[in-house]
Structure 1
């Protein structure tokens, strides 16, 4: 433990002074103890008597004015139902009686007129009127000025106050005479007080109501607060039921019930722990109130206290005055008994103090000058080569070594600070115990988007992208050895954007191997990462383009090769029909078969020619055609596949479908492709027998929507698997698929002025929808 030279000298001199005073004063203190106790009890008695007289003096004029107001309760004004006249009378009585907090009159039917002072309201006085016009309760608040003028009116439909349930009303009703209530917390003003109430009787002797006068007793607490009972003594007033109704700290006498209402705190629960220790056990034993003055003595937290309890003030006011004070507060009698000794002690203390201060200053002056000079040099406010003050030789040698070390340290700190702040890379120091940023330069603020003040309260791991594994803090538990980090990672900027950074980090230790801080460097490599991603995507696009060109060449070759056999099939079928005509053979079924062969071969040729035109970017001729007729022909083409897969194909075509415009062969190709996809989705897996009870259904529907026709192909199959990009090239869920069908269909429809999209069918199934434009004549007719 290092000790200050100045503090050691001061403590030594103060100790000498204390011993000198103690030797002189201690002898007189013992002989003065009895006089001190007598003086303390006399002072507490005087305080109790003073408090009793003040309470009587405060309540006596208030009692007289209250009894006068109670006598007025029998006159014709209050006995009548004239509420405005009653309010004015109560208002006048309140103005001439400053002790009153409020006057009020409650009737047996629950109506109520209350006039009170309102220092915090919009007016100086506030009136509360509860009435029952037409049998409905109405509560009105009226704020008035000093001349009875209305300042503000307000109604409170939520008020549920009932005067018939209050203690002042119940006491007057029960006794049929003027009564004083026990002190309580007023309902409206939330202040402690007592109430004088008197009954108002009808001519037949029945109770009409009760008039009450509120008298705030908070002024008694203010009087107790002004009493000087030693330095720490206090006086309080305890009611006969143990409630503390007045205390120097008025906030301690209030307590809250479970329902939220206020009450007086009991002496055993008041927030004054010394009062609880002094009078709580007496109240618990039933010894309060007392018949005669009762002095006492008790200990609290190692300190001795004296107390006095006075008899009750009167039968009307059964209040007990209780006073307590520490014994150490009463030093008046003690000072008179040891005046001579104190003067002698003061003289000795003064001489020793002057001598000690002079000696301490002479010893400590060179040391103080050296300390000031060292501090100025450390802060850079004084040149180390400045002349030394006159001091001790030992301090001169220490000063030379210290100045040299300070100069070297300042030079090193300056060089490091320039390197840190002017670096083109982001740099930071991180605390080894918490991982927080200690110091950052301007470049790291530019990279992260945070200011230096914001980074000072953050950790590096708070900047790391949530999907990247965190490693920050691993070196905090390292006991020894080198630690270094060099890696690429993602970082989340203040604006929420994600960037790529390179992070280099090393751990700096002291001579004992204890971690001092981590030095971190950071570079933004987002642009290079984006360039790499663009190169990868470009390679993929080139690969897809190459496969697309290859498929186009293969399709063109197939179309060219298939045209010849299709032509031969058509010619042979036509020749067979000619032979049937020449031989006059009557075989209708054979004729139908040959006709169908000829028609389908010609249709296949048309599809091949359309495919060749599509591959060669020839969109073909767009004409107006009947969609219903095209649907019938398309269903005929896929009927065999549907029957083999046991799939029922239904059509729901609107009856008023107008002609549509487009390449008829290309649209047929789209319909065939979508229907075959739906049938394949419903077909059983290879090698598995179909379930005869399972319903396999494909619905082809078409309806008009404005200037377009909406065609939908819907199935009740398993739907589209998650993660499949339906219209992307070379992406398929079929084992032998190529991933080009839907992509080609979308391109065909786009070329014909339509669109294609997918819709899910809950709970299972898929729906592919596309649109085609109407021919111009049909569109104009619809418009």
Structure 2
């Protein structure tokens, strides 16, 4: 069925416009009021957040100033025991922060320096200094101008003020940190305020004194009065005890207590009935401050209100921002204009539909001309080389750019496809939806043994060893979470064999963060794993063999040493029996004792001979092996020792050595012992070249192996291969003796060669495997 592009454009534009109008009208009826209420709540929240930030920004300079003054006094930048310099520091702090009513410092000995604003005094600022020269208390009052010059001085001998008894001093001293007092009405200015105090420490961490700042918070109320919250909305600040400490109308927050002193009005008694209705019940239930932002709606005087109470500003400033406003401030206009907007929207829809139809026809004209030209060319009525009809330049450029992008993308896809297919590592693409393989290269297929077509649709867990499935879901792809894999793991091939592989996987995402696919690389590391296991096995076997040989040599040596005294005991017992036989009155009991001694000594000798025979028979199994492979594995075992001693190990082997026949573990033990002896000998050298060279060559039906080092060599007169003789302080003297025994047990010889060159040179031979001639 052929469709007209012009008709589709016209119908589409008109239909979309009509649907848009319907959506606007419907949503206006259903959601406009609720949206505005939500907007009102957002506005109240923003007001609360702004008020919190303003309050913190208003008070944070005070904390910084108090802590700075405390640090300066503590670090002796400003001597806290110099009233003149300390007064100047506090004077400067007071000038910098206009919200400060006064700054002061009290010390542990009762000294006090106080600088405050004095709008009604003879000077703009007044200082009160209490010190104790020569042990006598003195109180001075100094009025100063803005340039710190003295306007008037006066002594006040009747003053009995002691800063150490004030709540701000006591609290800062007890808590040993910066503290805020609860808000209160200043006695002198009758204005709401708060005091911040910070302790000053001596070098031994004891208290030197306390720096304090008085801050008038009436400007916070002025800030609240300037906020535009709808038409009739208001914001106020409530202390954790229910006191209203800031309100757009400052006169409402102060009231007289029973003793005539001024105090803050409680939220349940403030002369703001709407605020009482909104937040008074929370105070009654003990829910001030709230744990989190608490929006609510309530009715008062026949009107509907929305309110929000914010959580406390901080632990040090337990103030709650409370905001309320009438709903009509936000919804009255929309209610009045709703019907007008609906009719206006309908009119706009009708007009724009007509304009859209005309615009669609105008846009479609060049396209229609191309379509007509194509039809005429197909009928042979016009020449294909005829000039093109007039069209849009933007469409021509867009078409050319699109063609270029398509060509470049195809070239990139071709190059990526070649890299993917020809990679030396196994590679696979994983679908983001279900985690199935989209495509794999030939190397991936060869590693796991499945055909490439078989793998498409399978999942990675389908290939994993059951014991290594931890961390891999049975299904699912990387669409929700990043698919990141980097680990060695076992896989089960199609033929049932187990292989070790290294997996690396990442998720490819588009610019919007949507997962396109995951790329997984796989490398077969089975052979390297097997080599590592073989080296571990060899190390365990060497350890076991060394332990067994050491015990065997010790047992053999002890058997040899014990056999002589046992023989002497047997001979002496036999001689005693002969002497006893020549005696006329021989003691029968003595004869039994001597006979038992001779019998037991002969029995002990038989046990020792059996032990030596048993040890000599434990020669181990001999196999054919490649000496070069055994040497490479042995070097892994001594690599850590050589690195720690800064010894380099070199090898000098011909390209092709014949196979040898011997006990593989015993020959490895000989190599390890000789290498470690050389490394330990050179580790004690303070300087010089530290190098061990292992060489091997074929000689007279044997493989001759040499271990040469550049160490201090062998001390003269030392019999290297004698049991229990050693140069090491913690040695047993069995290492070289055991090595010679193991080499000889395998048909070879071990010896040491003296040389004029520095270092020790040990050589041993291993029989070459004899080939069978046919």
TM bin, normalised by shorter chain, reads: 0.3 to 0.5
Q: Max radius of gyration: which structure?
A: 1
Structure 1 length as normaliser, TM-score? Answer: 0.37
TM-score, L = length of structure 2: 0.37
